Chains A and B, each alone.
Chain A
Amino acid sequence: MGWIFIASLVLALVITHKPLGDYMYRVYTSVKHNVVERFIYRLLGVQADSEMRWAVYARSLLAFSVISLLVLYGLQRLQDKLFLSLGFDPVPDHIAWNTAVSFVTNTNWQAYSGESTMGHLVQMSGLAVQNFVSAAVGMAVAITLVRGFARRGTDTLGNFWVDLVRGTIRILLPIAFVGALVLVAGGLVQNFIGPHEIAGLTGPTNMTGGPVASQEVIKELGTNGGGFYNTNSAHPFENATGWTNWFEIFLILLIPFALPRTFGKMVGQIRQGYAILAVMGVIALFSVTLTNVFELAGDATVPQAIGAALEGKDVRFGVANSATFGAATTLTSTGAVDSFHDSYTPFGGMMTLFNMMLGEVAPGGVGAGLYGMLILAVITVFVAGLMVGRTPEYLGKKIGAREIKLASMYFLVTPILVLVGTALAMGNEAGLAAMLNSGPHGFSEILYAFTSASNNNGSAFGGVTVNTPWYDVALGLCMLFGRFLPIVFVLALAGSLAKQTPVPETAGTLPTHRPQFVGMVVGVTIILVALTFLPALALGPLAEGLLS
């Protein structure tokens, strides 16, 4: 049954990627603004038709993110003074900082427990808003990089405010509205009920509610992942049935798998988009399959004693569908969980880690996945160029010294954050104190935390106690640098590509739409990641799995 579940998801994505990809192409290339948008641009005081150079685009994006950060921090610190606080205290400063960074960077790492920390106003008008706009920012950056390839001899790349507003209003909002109602039909709650006691069958029991469905849908669609409640998409009010589980995985993968089509249309060669889609698809299928195999095999002492890897999993999802969710959430930058990765088998848990270490490119977060994958394609043509001794080019644009420097810096950001962060934590009392499990599994918890934060995923090997000032600050910095440094490098790369006039294709040009190129990108991706992270994986999940 688990295999039909996967096959049906693939089928659904095959059906949707084309219309959605084409629609997004029209959204980002249309010259017309609709009435609502014109009104919004007037309120914003921006000239919607003026084009930006990359540096202006980047500064606008950073300005928007800084203000978002401040507003979200303020909302949390002042929640007791505002309405719908449910009587909760202001969020402590280090948690508020961590949470603000987390949601603005599309990470949604959660150092708090939703049902006992955040009032409905902070959830609905703070956290959920960032679920929308951080996703729209990711898409804007991806589209800008694509424009860099598509445009010729210009130094402008579009208008950040237009990309932001269109992504939010024309793409995310309509899908979210319909999706939220589908989820309510499945049993998710949508109300303003706060914590209270009710009569249970054998005694009083606690109950709470909230505007959950409207937040759940964008949490998946925007590959954000921050749960309304502490147990995230395992909670019955966030994920009520076997089919809402399917639908939530579908929402996670919907936009990331449609964007390559948008890319292909924008560069005028749809087959180039399909090559990128093929790379994503191959890696994703491989990873989902392996995660299922490892979890179903249940190869470790405790799962053997239990008879299945069922610790941390709910009956209505079962082992196989939980494994598929776990793979989908880490292959993208989502980080929502319907089962707890800390209790996965050693190799099943390693797959979730490895997925994130791939840089979340298969298919990756909304936008972030596409630009990550395009960077890998650039690195691949560079490697191929070295092998045959020709100047590498991609989509007619020369990959010269400046381009490859930017691409390399992009790639190096996350490994540095992950490995240096983990090393600091292991060499520091405050870092070590957070482990729940001991030995290799404890190391995996810390490695997972830094991998998740630096890649803007947000899922956790939940045993680690992260709501301490040391971790809140350290992981907050990882999230911040892990998000915005790569974005700046991508925008700079887009700027330098847009300036070039395309070189004509010759017999020596490496075709980048054939299976050969797809295979090369897959190879480069896996080799780069394996070389970078294998030593760390060997100390954690590999040691645990092989010793048992």
Chain B
Amino acid sequence: MERLPSWIRQHLAAVRAVIVLTLVTGAIYPLLVTGVAQAVFNHKANGSMTDKGSELIGQKFTDADGNPVKKYFQSRPSAAGDGYDMLSTAASNLGPEDVLDVLPDPNGADDAAKEGKQSLLTQVCARSKAIGELEGVSGARPFCAPDGVGAVLKVFPAIGTPTRAVSVNQACPAQPFVAEFQGVKVECGKPGEDYAAGRTVPVRGNVTDVKVPADAVTASGSGLDPHISVAYAQLQAARVAKERGKPVEAVRKLIADNTTGRALGFMGEPGVNVLMLNLALDKE
């Protein structure tokens, strides 16, 4: 051993070091943690399971067609697979200025063009509108057109006095959300037309009283968010109570029972565990 050149000795020591440290940190350590965790925190170490799934992992409460089951509280939107899929967790990763849709173009060159692509803004607007309809309140939000797409104009030319304005997320023959922009008549969007050269102008509109809470219209980071905000739960209470023929107060009490506050009063935010709330409803 001592007679080998030093660089070979170094690599031999390296091979042994990788093996030994793998045994220590990659076998003994995790197995020891597993042993203690299984013995002391058995329920938690195995995923905090109820007989209808883990209480930590969100689920979608929809029927086979993907429509909300009305007697259940609904979770947040999810970008994990078809929604709440533990084997393909994901966030949307769409940016804060993602406001331009690709309109579905029946004459498009490929499937992607035929299907089009909704911007994050339009997704938010569409969800808000659908939830508003489901809960019987207004789904209106700032920067959203009444038909549930992002209220965004492309103005031409990009710099200078406008000569043309297009509501790019509203496919013809839709009625544009505003009739004119700085004296120019607003057109509806034509699928397949390239509006990239224009200036992007999102239009806030005059909505001030937003009824659908923020968490209801956004996909979570995990794609498995088990919670909704207290506000979103309260919004759903009337509908769930009506479907179940229960007094709203009883449902509101269950919401309170399944609300987790901030840890130690300052860590995180309060949330309502949707699965546990729905299980509690079924039990009554």
Q: Which residue of A lies closest to B9 (CB)?
A: A45
Residues of B within 8 A of A68 (CB): 14, 18
Residues of A within 8 A of B72 (CB): 201-202
Shortest Cβ distance from residue B270 to the other chain A in the assembled complex, whole angstroms: 8
Q: Is B234 an interface residue (CB 8 A)?
A: no
- Cβ contacts B170-181/A at 8 Å (1 or 0 each): 000000000000
Q: Is A313 an interface residue (CB 8 A)?
A: yes
Partner of A301, one of B61, B97, B271: B97
Contact A207 B227 (CB under 8 A): no
- Cβ contacts B58-92/A at 8 Å (1 or 0 each): 11111110000100100010001000111111111
Contact B90 A230 (CB under 8 A): yes
Partner of B59, one of A202, A342, A462: A202
Contact B63 A231 (CB under 8 A): no
Contact A202 B69 (CB under 8 A): yes
Residues of B within 8 A of A176 (CB): 29
Q: Is B15 an interface residue (CB 8 A)?
A: yes
Q: In the bound complex, how far is the Cα of B268 from the Cα of A316, in angstroms?
A: 5
Known: A129-B21, A132-B25, A169-B24. A211 touches B30 (CB 8 A): yes
Q: Is A13 an interface residue (CB 8 A)?
A: no
Partner of A5, one of B12, B141, B222, B267: B267
Contact A67 B15 (CB under 8 A): yes
Residues of A within 8 A of B54 (CB): 207, 236
Known: A64-B14, A184-B37, A243-B263. A59 touches B141 (CB 8 A): no
- Cβ contacts B226-239/A at 8 Å (1 or 0 each): 11110000000000
Q: Is B26 an interface residue (CB 8 A)?
A: yes
Q: Which of A277-324 contact B (CB under 8 A)?
A: 300-318, 321-322
Partner of B34, one of A66, A190, A203, A302: A190
Please choose the segment from B107-115, B119-127, B182-190, B249-257 that sits at the chain A interface, where 4 or more of its residues have CB less than 8 A away.
Answer: B119-127
Contact B143 A301 (CB under 8 A): yes
Residues of B within 8 A of A177 (CB): 29, 32-33
In the A-B complex, list the 4 residue pairs whose CB atoms are closest, starting with the nearest: A242-B268, A318-B269, A234-B221, A125-B26
Known: A129-B25, A202-B69, A309-B96. A63 touches B14 (CB 8 A): yes
Residues of A within 8 A of B97 (CB): 300-302, 346, 439-441, 544, 547-548
Q: In the bound complex, how far is the Cα of B200 from the Cα of A52, in angstroms?
A: 62
Other than the given A184-B41, A544-B95, 19 more pairs (CB < 8 A) read A1-B269, A64-B17, A66-B14, A128-B30, A129-B22, A188-B44, A190-B37, A191-B34, A191-B38, A203-B64, A231-B89, A231-B90, A234-B220, A300-B96, A306-B124, A314-B221, A316-B269, A340-B91, A441-B97
Known: A208-B87, A343-B94. A124 touches B26 (CB 8 A): yes
Residues of B in contact with A, size category? 35 or more
Among B90, B95, B260, which residue has the most Cβ atoms of chain A within 10 A?
A: B95
Shortest Cβ distance from residue B34 to the other chain A in the assembled complex, whole angstroms: 5
Q: Is A237 an interface residue (CB 8 A)?
A: yes
Q: In the bound complex, how far is the Cα of B9 from the Cα of A462, in angstroms?
A: 42
Q: Is B191 an interface residue (CB 8 A)?
A: no
Shortest Cβ distance from residue B283 to the other chain A in the assembled complex, whole angstroms: 12
Shortest Cβ distance from residue B26 to the other chain A in the assembled complex, whole angstroms: 4
Partner of B125, one of A132, A231, A305: A305
Q: In the bound complex, how far is the Cα of B269 from the Cα of A168, in angstroms?
A: 36
Q: Is A214 an interface residue (CB 8 A)?
A: yes
Please choose the segment from B45-53, B129-137, B160-168 that sits at the chain A interface, where 4 or more of its residues have CB less than 8 A away.
Answer: B45-53
Partner of A185, one of B41, B210, B218, B223: B41
Q: Is A116 an interface residue (CB 8 A)?
A: yes
Contact B27 A125 (CB under 8 A): yes
Chain A residues in the interface with B (C-beta under 8 A): 1, 4-5, 8, 40, 43-46, 56, 59-60, 63-64, 66-68, 71, 113, 115-116, 124-126, 128-129, 132-133, 161, 164-165, 168-169, 173, 176-177, 180-181, 184-193, 195, 198-203, 205-209, 211, 213-215, 218, 229-231, 234-237, 240-243, 245-246, 300-318, 321-322, 337-340, 342-346, 349, 436-441, 444, 461-463, 544, 547-548
Q: In the bound complex, how far is the Cα of B266 from the Cα of A242, in angstroms?
A: 9
Residues of A within 8 A of B48 (CB): 187
Shortest Cβ distance from residue B116 to the other chain A in the assembled complex, whole angstroms: 15
Contact A342 B88 (CB under 8 A): no
Partner of B18, one of A64, A113, A165, A200: A64
Residues of A within 8 A of B248 (CB): none
Shortest Cβ distance from residue B63 to the other chain A in the assembled complex, whole angstroms: 7
Q: Which residue of B lies closest to A347 (CB)?
A: B96
Partner of A305, one of B9, B144, B224, B226: B144
Contact B271 A316 (CB under 8 A): yes
Contact B269 A317 (CB under 8 A): yes
Residues of A within 8 A of B38 (CB): 190-191
Partner of B95, one of A116, A318, A342: A342
Known: A132-B21, A133-B21, A187-B56. A301 touches B30 (CB 8 A): no
Known: A5-B267, A230-B90. A312 touches B219 (CB 8 A): yes
Residues of A within 8 A of B21 (CB): 129, 132-133, 164-165, 168
Q: Is B99 an interface residue (CB 8 A)?
A: yes
Known: A60-B13, A161-B13, A313-B221. A241 touches B263 (CB 8 A): yes
Q: In the bound complex, how far is the Cα of B87 from the Cα of A208, in angstroms?
A: 7
Q: In the bound complex, how far is the Cα of B35 from the Cα of A192, in angstroms?
A: 11
Q: In the bound complex, how far is the Cα of B14 from the Cα of A42, in angstroms?
A: 13
Q: Which of B256-284 contact A (CB under 8 A)?
A: 260, 262-264, 266-269, 271, 275, 278-279, 282
Q: Which residue of A lies closest to B262 (CB)?
A: A242
Residues of B within 8 A of A246 (CB): 263, 267-268
Residues of A within 8 A of B52 (CB): 199-201
Q: Which residue of B lies closest to A439 (CB)?
A: B97
Q: Is B142 an interface residue (CB 8 A)?
A: yes
Partner of A161, one of B17, B91, B225: B17
Known: A306-B124, A317-B268. A437 touches B95 (CB 8 A): yes
Contact A193 B47 (CB under 8 A): yes
Contact A190 B96 (CB under 8 A): no
